A and B are shown apart, each in its own frame.
Chain A
């Protein structure tokens, strides 16, 4: 068996070209899913008997909150790949995911605040999930700051990798300790292991949107990974050719 499929990931040029195609597929797929899911959720899903129409923000809030957490885990996987196989692309992915993950964290905090006003009567409470999301945001911010402070990109990548791995061990502890400290948030309405607590007409569009946002996140991450690759390889001849052609 040839190892080509593995080694080609070491080539920035191969990745740049391939990722462009994947991005196109992801972009269209995400657009279709998000349009369908959002129209379905906002226009056709039934009204909640307690929260009225205000609950409809879950079609944004839940997917971005899922992603904000999933992206940290994805970053940890990249850090392991970076340390075990010394794959530079994993570092590029880490850099791209940190920024996108922070954006999703902020989005979930803001959408949560907007939802909190009509349902809890306040934009912000020191509830467990809000607090752990805020801490997650600070962790992302720390990663971005650390990378910006270290000039050599390889060294910055490894320092970030160490921080991500320490963070990923700590995240569950932070989550449980904060939960034990104070909880007010409604329990999760979608769990992989249990039947959802809402009717199918409500969670079906949510599922479509979650899938849509995941693919949209892949689109965003691929896009910024391509930009980072171009930036780091700016002295390589294929980049000069590419820029010259454009």
Chain B
């Protein structure tokens, strides 16, 4: 069996063994969404106005919550070291990229799947909701990569807390701005394709280049000072 298939099988088993890891961020997302009308107002017109932005921010936070320790268990039980030792014919960035893709599939896609429910609860109009789903699908690969980098950079320090999140969040700015632009245009009923294309381009570039930085950060934490 190829390395890629073995990795996929292992990640599947891990995900099945710990369903809580998939479920908890979704739970968090729904809790944040239920706080919005409580804190603001139950008025459905007002909620429809800000709903899509709120769901975007809540999804972003939930994603950060479950990516924070992305490499932690693989690091502490030595799997990452094994990658470096055994898979010499594969660049580390490729393996890291695979890991990020698998993480996105198992942990981020479920989050995106429940956003329509959140959208209905905040009375977001259907066409905006579709645009919201599209922006999330297109933008989350970039967000996953960046927060994975944060997780990799803080691997070695036991007292980093949410530092990885704090360090990476400023880099989300372009993604959030572009996605918000799409949502505003969807609300107006104007053309969303150009901005969507830009968002997709950013996501693709991030997904290609960031794994290289992540692999450098992992190497740094395993190799110590060399």
Contacts and interface: CB of A to CB of B under 8 A. Distances in A.
Interface residues of A, number: 29
Interface stretch (B6-14, B31-39, B167-175): B167-175
B136 interface: no
B178 A138 contact: no
Contacts of A135: 170, 173
B154 A149 contact: yes
A35 to B, nearest CB: 36
A244 to B, nearest CB: 30
Contact of B154 (A143, A146, A169): A146
A14 interface: no
Interface in B166-216: 166-171, 173-174, 177-178, 180-181, 202, 209-210, 213, 216
A155 B153 contact: no
A155 B216 contact: no
Contact of A163 (B153, B173, B174, B221): B153
B10 to A, nearest CB: 27
A155 B209 CA distance: 22
A149 B165 CA distance: 13
A113 interface: no
Contacts of A142: 163, 166-168, 170
Contacts of B217: 159, 162
Nearest to A181: B177
B173 A178 contact: yes
A152 B153 contact: no
Closest 9 CB pairs of A and B: A142-B167, A177-B174, A149-B157, A138-B170, A154-B225, A149-B160, A177-B177, A135-B170, A181-B177
Interface of B: 149, 153-154, 156-157, 159-160, 163, 166-171, 173-174, 177-178, 180-181, 202, 209-210, 213, 216-217, 220-221, 224-225
7 contacts: A135-B170, A149-B163, A150-B154, A155-B224, A159-B217, A177-B178, A178-B173
